[in-house]
């Protein structure tokens, strides 16, 4: 089968890109109808691509018989925690045939690497196994998972051996220890994640500010007790507060399970599951219609806990480091 020709992406390709992206999103919604139907409109999808282009994204278009049948756009983020990074966002690629993404990456990536951006990330719809496979065959691996599920319609009751309640000021020290425990766990095998570190004392100061603040900041906090001791905590909010879930990856009326942590010596008691259930119950009471979370694919605890709680993979963040 003849391969498409590739050339640099320009603003003249926006209409075609909008049609391709809208078709991809329509296919996603046949599997996950909780996502926003607005992006099935090529004009709305075009706006997402245009925003990337306006933000400095560069890339390539694929052409067959004079028709654009795929595009790929990537942009750099000024965030050192991600390394010398280049991101292909959710709206940054769409192809008629999955294999075309390999031609597009071959055309676009040299300019990125020449600029020193050798840590590449791509957000790919999880349901499209052919597209995921094409990215895998470009040397990318699965790093992060976006998950989605319906909000339960029935209230939840915690198990008898656990108490679920709102945090109190006397919990501050334990809350700070839980804040530190999560990134500490992410440093361990098999995740080996990089990230900014902070101390318990710094976390204590943040929690003191939270308790001192007046008014509702939109975040909901919960803790779990076992035998009178706080062993876990979680935070939830509207998904609109999450910078990691925007555009096509943000379903309407969605709540976000943004954080959950259990002390190492309390793991295995069901505290993590109780935190997740409590958050879902809050989302039900608040009126959200869908629940979203995300986790490191290599984090054995969260990847098992959240899928067991009913979260289905919706997008994968794939990653490749050039030259190794």
The three-state secondary structure class of 158 is coil
The three-state secondary structure class of 185 is helix
205 φ, ψ (degrees, to nearest 5): -60, -40
Query: How do beta strands 254-262 and 229-238 pair?
Result: antiparallel
The residue ranges of every structural domain in the chain are: 5-139, 150-310
> Would the pTM count as exceeding 0.85?
yes
pLDDT in tens, 132-143: 999 999 999 999
The class level of CATH for 5-139 reads alpha beta
Cα-to-chain-centroid distance, residue 235: 16
pLDDT in tens, 37-90: 999 999 999 999 999 999 999 999 999 999 999 999 999 999 988 999 999 999
CA gap 275, 95 in Å, rounded: 39
**What token pair was written down for 159?**
């198990």
Mean pLDDT by 10 residues, the chain (324 residues): 92 98 98 98 98 98 98 96 96 98 98 97 98 98 98 97 98 98 94 86 95 90 98 98 96 98 97 98 98 97 97 98 88
Residues 220 and 230 sit within 8 Å (Cβ to Cβ): no
**What token pair was written down for 317?**
């963040």
150-310 is classed in which CATH architecture?
3-Layer(aba) Sandwich (3.40)
What's the mean per-residue pLDDT of the chain?
96
Query: How buried is residue 243: exposed, middle or buried, by Cβ count under 10 Å (0-12/13-18/19+)?
Result: exposed
At 1 the pLDDT is: 62
Residues 41 and 30 sit within 8 Å (Cβ to Cβ): no
């Amino acid at each position: 089968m003849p391969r498409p020709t590739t050339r640099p992406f320009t603003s003249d390709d926006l209409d075609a890109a909008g049609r391709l992206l809208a078709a991809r999103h329509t296919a996603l919604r046949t599997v996950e109808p909780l996502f926003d139907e607005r992006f099935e409109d090529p004009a709305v999808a075009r706006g997402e691509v245009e925003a990337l282009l306006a933000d400095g994204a560069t890339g390539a278009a694929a052409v067959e018989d004079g028709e654009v049948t795929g595009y790929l756009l990537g942009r750099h983020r000024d965030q050192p925690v991600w390394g010398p990074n280049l991101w292909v966002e959710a709206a940054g690629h769409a192809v008629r045939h999955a294999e075309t993404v390999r031609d597009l990456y071959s055309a676009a990536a040299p300019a990125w690497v020449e600029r020193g951006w050798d840590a590449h990330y791509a957000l790919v719809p999880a349901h499209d196994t052919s597209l995921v496979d094409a990215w895998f065959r470009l040397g990318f691996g699965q790093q992060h998972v976006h998950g989605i599920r319906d909000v339960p319609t029935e209230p939840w009751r915690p198990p008898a051996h656990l108490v679920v309640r709102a945090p109190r000021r006397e919990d501050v020290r334990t809350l700070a220890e839980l804040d530190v425990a999560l990134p500490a766990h992410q440093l361990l095998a098999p995740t080996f994640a990089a990230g900014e570190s902070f101390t318990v004392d710094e976390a204590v100061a943040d929690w003191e500010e939270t308790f001192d603040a007046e008014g509702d900041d939109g975040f909901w906090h919960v803790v779990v007790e076992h035998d009178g001791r706080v062993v876990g905590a979680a935070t939830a909010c509207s998904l609109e507060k999450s910078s990691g879930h925007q555009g096509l990856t943000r379903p309407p009326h969605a709540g976000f399970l943004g954080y959950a942590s259990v002390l190492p010596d309390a793991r295995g008691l069901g505290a993590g599951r109780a935190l997740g259930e409590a958050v879902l119950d809050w989302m039900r009471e608040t009126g959200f219609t869908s629940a979203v979370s995300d986790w490191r694919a290599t984090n054995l605890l969260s990847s098992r806990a959240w899928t067991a709680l009913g979260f289905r993979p919706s997008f994968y963040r794939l990653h490749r480091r050039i030259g190794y």
